[in-house]
Amino acid sequence: MSSASDPPPPAWFSSVLAPWRWPMYLRVLVGVLLGAAIGFTFGTQPIVFGGTTAELGEIAGLYIQLLTTLATPLIFFAILDAFVRTNITGRQGAKMFAICGLNVIVAFAIGLTIINVWQPGRAWQGTLASRAATVASNEMPADVKAKAEQTSLSPLKLLKSYVPKSVAQPFAENMVLTVAAMAILIGAAMRSLKTTASTGDDEGEVIVALKTFEQCVVATYQIVLKLLGWIIEIAPLAICLAVAGVVGSTGVDVFKLVGVFLATVVSALAIHALGYYLLSAWLIGGKSPRVFLREGLTAILTGFSINSSLATAPLTLDALKRMRVSESSARLSACVGTNFNNDGITLYEAITALFIAQAAGMSLGLGQQITILLAALTGSMGIAGIPNSGLIILALVLKAAQLPDDIVQLALPIVYSIDFINARLRSAVNVMGDMQVAILLDAGAELSD
């Protein structure tokens, strides 16, 4: 029995006994590990009261749906709020596109090097049909098939898909690129009105109305942030359920069958994310790998776990704030640039198509390989951030590679059999890309000042 004179327990001991006080990245990591343990332990068997890991995954899906629902208005009001509080210029936008372009070039170089030097697809030559037969039960979901059939790599059709039929459609269907474009246009109109209002007779009325509108924008943005803050607090639990659902329904036996393909994808994404992203953020942006990973780990793990870079946008913005990246650079990258900086999807689609072509015994010249890379880039623009987006455009990229239909039909089940892990890796890389672009934007702004 302790007396009143006994010293209080150390702070770290009290923290250990209160997991809700742990850093978010640690809670998320625990959620990932606990979810994997539940999935491995129970598989498809009932856990308690007849509940299964598949049902845990469905519960997690509701959380992801809610997070995505709020992430879209977050992007809209974050951009508008940036026009009110900060100074996002056309020059910054040009820099962002230049950085995104450089990132794509590096991703292409990594993919081409791995495919042409390592030539991993040769390991499957002559066995593609037998491997497909082994995983024949792993068919793409009907909704993914339907979306893939409705999607096209035609620039004109892509442009038409971005033009909404109503103001509400972009928010209802999470058309992130369209929402960002609307916010930019409204913000530009606000600034134009403020500049020209002083020359008109109704100067006072216009200025007062604009100030009222700006106050509404700021207040709404803060309300959305508060709501997301509450929801994010339960992210570790949702991540635990999501991982349990995926691991429990899939297992690990399939990895033995497709090990070479998985190793190819993981190698490409790892070199790009842990090599190029970290080095460029350190050497150009001044953010060491230790700082990048320490502050960004929560967002990276969340993107990996819930398989959506869009739903992770609030955590990405929070991570950039902790890294002391300016608000203008953070919002421009995480809210606008995320639609163009889809290196995870672009690199995955390209290297998958090249791998399958190599496995089918096709000899592609450099020009044909570059054509496939450009098709992957076109398909990834505007579609990243949504779960299963990689599968939606994969069939189109495979056709762009001029692969025979029978090869495409054989390859898709194999690819889908491990997409539960590849999709999450793509999302994590996209989240890291958003942070890297923001850091480099800040570095460019400092150099030009």
| Domain regions of the chain by residue span | 23-42+51-448
Give the pLDDT band of residue 126 (cuts 50, 70, 90).
confident
Percent of the chain past pLDDT 90, that is, above it, reads 21
Average pLDDT, the chain: 81
Q: Is the pLDDT of residue 1 over 60?
A: no
- Averaged pLDDT, 265-275: 95
More confident residue, 63 or 11: 63
pLDDT given for residue 384 in this prediction: 47
Q: Is the pLDDT of residue 122 over 60?
A: yes
Q: Is the pLDDT of residue 16 over 70?
A: no
- How do residues 26-85 score in pLDDT, each as one tens digit? 888 888 889 888 888 888 788 877 788 888 888 888 888 888 888 888 889 988 888 887
Residues 6+ apart with CB under 8 A from 98: none
8 Å CB contact between 120 and 264: yes
Burial (0-12, 13-18, 19+ Cβ within 10 Å), 215: exposed
DSSP 198: G
- How do residues 329-370 score in pLDDT, each as one tens digit? 998 898 888 777 888 888 998 898 888 888 888 888 888 888
Q: How far apart are CA 312 and CA 306, in angstroms?
A: 8
Tokens at residue 163, please? 């033009």
Which range has highest mean pLDDT (160-174, 407-421, 422-436)? Answer: 422-436
CATH of region 23-42+51-448: 1.10.3860.10
- How do residues 290-320 score in pLDDT, each as one tens digit? 999 999 999 998 888 888 887 888 899 999 9
More confident residue, 153 or 280: 280
